[in-house]
Amino acid sequence: MQKSLKEINTNIAIQDPIFETITQAAENINVDCYVIGGFVRDFLLQRGTPKDIDVVAVGRGIELAKEVASLLPQKTKVQVFKNYGTAMVKTDDIELEFVGARKESYREDSRKPLVEDGSLQDDQNRRDFTINALAISLSKNNRGELLDPFNGIEDLEKGIIRTPLDPDITYSDDPLRMMRAIRFASQLQFKIEHHSLEAIKRNNERIKIISEERIVDELNKIILSKTPSVGFKLLHQTGLLKLILPELTALQGIEEKEGQKHKDNFWHTLEVVDNIAENTDDLWLRWAALLHDIGKAPTKRFDKKIGWTFHGHEFVGSKMVYKLFKRLHMPLNDKMKFVQKMVLMSSRPIVLAQDIVTDSAVRRLIFDAGDYVEDLMTLCEADITTKNPKKFTKYHNNFKIVRQKIVEVEERDHVRNFQPPVSGEQIMEVFNLQPSKEIGIIKDAIKEAILEGEIPNEYDAAYHFMLERGKKLGLKAVK
């Protein structure tokens, strides 16, 4: 029979020598101290040992950090953050954050608290959730004792996210906790307790005082969880999603005209993100899955002859990615360009898989996708959400054919990231040209001929093609 969490010996959690050092340091300066929060929670859930550990001292947290550093065998620097009353000590691969026990109060327009010294109970009261208020004593007189004033152990066993105090106050004081509640529910596959969930709905507008960077940090953790849809469904249910990612919520709904419907692209998107999460831990590929259809809301049209259309949604969506990243203060760098490229090309392999797979179409796919062709195929396979077993099998088999064709064409033609075998400088030299549009025309013609399979991707073939194309343009070779 499996042990109850209450029966677990918490002394095991603090066997690492670093905890012995903290105990000795606390005795040296005569303070009580406790390891608290995520370290305790993850130990009890057997989720591995976190490398960042929070230590609360009842008074003089910074002094305790300095004493710990002085006892370590290697010279260790203490980083002090006076504004926050905290100190950081890094040893080996562990980060220890020390803080004095405190109580907090908040102003309505800020999540930055007014802080004063407090007891351990005050410090546990200010914690976001009962499962994060668990503490293990590091003091010599009761070392290893678990302090659980809010039945956090019971919530861990039942898989519940609950605030220690009134959830309306907890979430209004620091609205980022609403995102954290949903993130923990997604990561741990827990449920948010009913009163707490209703409080998030009531306080969702408070998220507007939180910086975009902090919001994105939580979003990334939700996206990287095993089943991201758990978090996104909760974000949607609480009204937070429309405030953070309105491009996504705009996809929700099924419209019917003249007996013709389209699928609900919001719920489809969540299925795609879950599908891709089974095959990749790449954050930005998961972002691409989340955003791959955002262009469908602004491009939705009804055509009496063919029904609902979303023409150009990939192009529109790729442009929307830039605006979304900019608004959320996300990196406007190669990561964003990767997401844009995936969104822009997200239908290409699907079209290929539905038709006869020609070499020229595969060459163009490889050329356009470059190093990301495997990522693109992973995204498109995740995009198969049909509930029809025959169609599901057929689509996946077609993608296997496309993947095999990619391997064959690439081995033979080497078109990934290729440059035409004849350079612009050579064209100028052969035809004695100054920089002009003719050079670009000839280069593009060589590239198209290779991609269409008219000539092999080889120098001699490209050189003879260049001479022929130059002749058609009225150019005379001088070499």
| The CATH number of the domain covering residues in 5-158 | 3.30.460.10
Q: Give buried/exposed letters for 120-157 (b at 16+ CB in 10 A, else e).
A: beebbbbbbbbbbbbbbbbbeeebbebbbebbbbbbbe
The structural domains of the chain, with segments of one domain joined by +, span 5-158, 160-244, 424-472
Beta strand pairing call for 114-117 and 52-57: unpaired
Report the percent of the chain where pLDDT is more than 70: 94
Contact between 328 and 212 (Cβ < 8 Å): yes
pLDDT of residue 108: 62
CB-based contact 362:356 (threshold 8 Å): no
pTM confidence score? 0.86
Contact 360, 453 (CB under 8 A): yes
The 3-state DSSP class for residue 308 equals strand
DSSP string, 78-116: EEEETTTTEEEEEETTEEEEEEE-EEEE--TT-SPPEEE
User: pLDDT value at position 1?
Assistant: 36
111 within 8 A of 173, measured Cβ to Cβ: yes
Q: Rounded CA gap, 221 and 332, in Å?
A: 19
pLDDT band at 361 (very low <50, low <70, confident <90, very high): confident
Query: Is the separation of the CB atoms in 264 and 254 below 8 Å?
Result: yes
- What fold does the segment set 160-244 form as a domain? Hydrophobic Seed Protein (1.10.110)
- Please say whether the beta carbons of 163 and 170 come within 8 A: yes
Give residues with Cβ within 8 angstroms of 378, minimum separation 6.
Answer: 276, 279, 280, 285
Q: What is the pLDDT of residues 25-53, one digit of tens each?
A: 999 999 999 999 999 999 999 887 777 89
User: In this predicted model, what pLDDT tens digit does every residue of 92-115 receive, in sequence order?
Assistant: 888 999 998 876 555 666 556 555
Contact 128, 170 (CB under 8 A): yes
CB 438 within 8 A of CB 398: no
**pLDDT at site 309:** 80
Cα dist. 181→20, 218, 327 in Å? 33, 10, 23
